[in-house]
Copies of this chain bind each other. A is one copy, B any other.
Amino acid sequence: MENFTFQNGTKIIFGKDTELQVGEESIAYGKKLLLHYGGGSIKESGLYDTIIKSLQEHDIEVYELGGVKPNPRISLVREGVALCKEHNLDFILAVGGGSVIDSAKAIAAGAKYEGDVWDFFTGESPVTECMPIGVVLTIPAAGSETSTGTVVTNEEGWYKRATGHSKMRPQFAIMNPVLTYTLPSYQTACGITDMMAHILERYFTNEKNVELTDRLCEATLKTIINNAHIVLDDPSNYAARAEIMWSGTIAHNDLLSTGRTGDWASHDIEHEISGIYDIAHGAGLAIIFPAWMKYVYKHDINRFAQFANRVWDVELDLNDLEKTALTGINKMEQFFNSIGMPTSLAEVEIGDEHFAEMAKKATERWPLGNFVKLHEEDVYKIYQIAK
């Protein structure tokens, strides 16, 4: 086990009707708040009204910025930064999924910085200060509700880049599974894939002595897999929605990283695709992860065999662990297909015309991954496998 520091103080308020507590939780951080959200769905569902009412009951002055798109844009982040600076706001309340939360995190850092907020994403400047953030989660997927990271897209050049800081971790996350009943199937499946990918990135490590975190990863993956079809077949199944929602947080709250170095190449390889093509991040991951696995599994066949056995119930073939490993990868692909996810670029009508450019952009700062270090030509080959 590697040395580690772990601290995650986000207050989780989980369950039915918990959104009614948003005013009470927010007032601890000040009287002037930026309410940040995406499209109109929170207005249609009535969530917007519930939240405004709760905030008003605590005499909180609300400034609004809606319009966050999937793969959130730096242009809107800049608007948010300007609003926070102009009105000297105390707190940002993100109502939505990963894109809204990531956008809020970028605003939170940008509002405390003299320069341009994109500097944090290029490495030009480190994040040092942040406004406090709270979350009402409506899409379980990104795990951003308790994480320290944010991913934002710059429309100039379609760069999709990540940054992070411990001060970006939300102060609280209100999570009511009922709010996820109305998520369309495709978005539900994308979320499921995203949270599984967060665990897989951590699972494939070169550290050998990680039994507890291996088992915790496997436990969370199995729970997600077992509940995926239930929520797709019966979107208002509270028990299954709750399992998926809480699993999405556990997948990405850093517990599963303790004592091990994860990989993260697949996320970077996918970011180039969803940066250019604007496809859903989850769908991109369902395409890239199996391709990445097929490219790297020989690096540690035993780990892939363990994954196949413990997560996908593939019987261990001790005479042919490679077969066991490959069966596990196939089972994962079949699972992604079964929940309506693509597992090839062809299925989302992406051709090979940008492969060279994406491979170059993905690796222009440094090689990707830790389990196996990937250079430009490796990434190119993974795009080929994913065709």
Contacts and interface: CB of A to CB of B under 8 A. Distances in A.
Interface of A: 1-16, 18, 177, 208-209, 211-212, 215-216, 218-220, 222-223, 226-227, 238-239, 242-243, 246-247, 250, 255, 258-259
| Protomer copies | 2
B6 A8 contact: no
Given A2-B15, A209-B242, A246-B259, 14 more contacts: A1-B177, A1-B246, A3-B15, A4-B14, A5-B14, A6-B14, A7-B10, A7-B11, A208-B239, A209-B238, A212-B246, A212-B250, A216-B219, A242-B259
Contacts of A13: 5
A226 B211 contact: yes
Given A223-B212, A246-B212, A1 B239 contact: yes
B3 A14 contact: yes
A-B pairs with lowest CB-CB distance, top 10:
A3-B15, A9-B9, A215-B219, A209-B239, A7-B11, A1-B242, A219-B219, A212-B223, A6-B12, A211-B223
Given A211-B223, A223-B215, A258 B246 contact: yes
Contact of A216 (B7, B9, B220, B226): B220
A18 B3 contact: yes
A155 B258 CA distance: 41
A6 to B, nearest CB: 4
Nearest to A253: B255
Given A7-B9, A209-B243, A14 B259 contact: yes
Contacts of A219: 212, 215-216, 218-219
Contacts of A11: 5-7
Contact of A15 (B1, B211, B222): B1
Contact of A212 (B1, B4, B209, B243): B243
Contacts of A1: 14-15, 177, 238-239, 242-243, 246
A260 to B, nearest CB: 11
Nearest to A237: B209
